[in-house]
Amino acid sequence: MPANDIARPLFSGVASSYEWASLLLSYGQYRRWHRSLLERLTLPAPALVLDMATGTGAVAFRVARRPQVRVIAGDITRAMLLQAQARATRDGQSAIDLIECTAEAIPFPDAAFDAVIFTYLLRYVSDVPATLRELARVLRPGGMMLSQDFAVPRGVFYPLWRLHTDVVLRLGGALISRGWGRAGAFLGGSIRDFYRRWPEERIVQAWRECGFPDAQAKRLSVGGALIMWGTKAS
């Protein structure tokens, strides 16, 4: 099944409860990961930022609070974008534009953005290097790219992580809703499979090969999350 055909139904089934359930199932780490990621973001003024795989807009809303910043928030799942739109309306947020699109074919010209951010994306694309090149294409030279996703802990923390992904996510997700039950059953295997194929060192190298020679990565929450950032070469 194509990667996007997995993501759409999976996230459509959890869109209405995504924010609070993600916070609950991550033991409150969900927002901390976003804060840690965005601490590394430096922007000119004014700035145009692309938040790809925005989901319900959690990262996009944080970025849009900065002065003189406009955010284009893209996602392939309409149900998630509708939740983001409802939140924007409720909060009176006018510095975010929402667009339904894929990361493999971003409908903007070269060097259109001052920064590109993406979260929980690469596990759902068919061609990781091609997707990174497409994200880099729409970023101006000297602009920053940042990402965040789950990771697989090492050493003594691995058994605890397996307990969380194999038991807590499955059972906790099923208690929340049928959609979260499917997501909880899917996530552990998805994360393990991705990091077998794309361990941290290989992902960092892929960023560097796409024009980010200073690409760096940092693990959070005993290795269960990974943030990355780099500056596009001039």
Q: At what angle do helices 128-137 and 200-209 cross, to 10 degrees?
A: 40
pLDDT of 216: 97
Tell me which residues of the chain have a pLDDT lower than 70.
1-4
What are the φ and ψ backbone dihedral angles of 69, each rounded to 5 degrees?
-120, 135
Q: How far apart are CA 25 and CA 63, in angstroms?
A: 24
Question: Given this model, what pLDDT does residue 28 score?
Answer: 85
User: With contact defined as beta carbons under 8 Å apart, do 33 and 58 qualify?
Assistant: no
Mean pLDDT of the chain: 93
Domains located in the chain, CATH noted? 3-151+198-231 (3.40.50.150)
Q: Does residue 212 contact residue 230 with C-beta atoms inside 8 Å?
A: yes
pTM above 0.85, yes or no: yes
Strands 47-52 and 69-75: parallel
Q: What is the pLDDT of residue 13?
A: 87
Please write down the HEC assignment for all residues of the chain: CCHHHHHHHHHHCCHHHHHHHHHHHCCCHHHHHHHHHHCCCCCCCCEEEEEECCCCCHHHHHHHCCCCEEEEEEECCHHHHHHHHHHHHHHCCCCEEEEECECCECCCCCCCEEEEEEECCHHHCCCHHHHHHHHHHCEEEEEEEEEEEECCCCCCHHHHHHHHHHHHHHHHHHHHCHHHHHHHHHHHHHHHHHHHHCCHHHHHHHHHHCCCCCCEEEEEHHHCEEEEEEECCC
- The strand pairing partners of 63, in sequence order, are none
Gyration radius of the chain's alpha carbons: 17
**Strand 139-150 vs strand 225-231: parallel, antiparallel, or unpaired?**
antiparallel
Q: What are phi and psi of 219, to 5 degrees?
A: -90, 145
Tokens 């990355």 -> residue: 228
Q: What are phi and psi of 140, to 5 degrees?
A: -70, 150
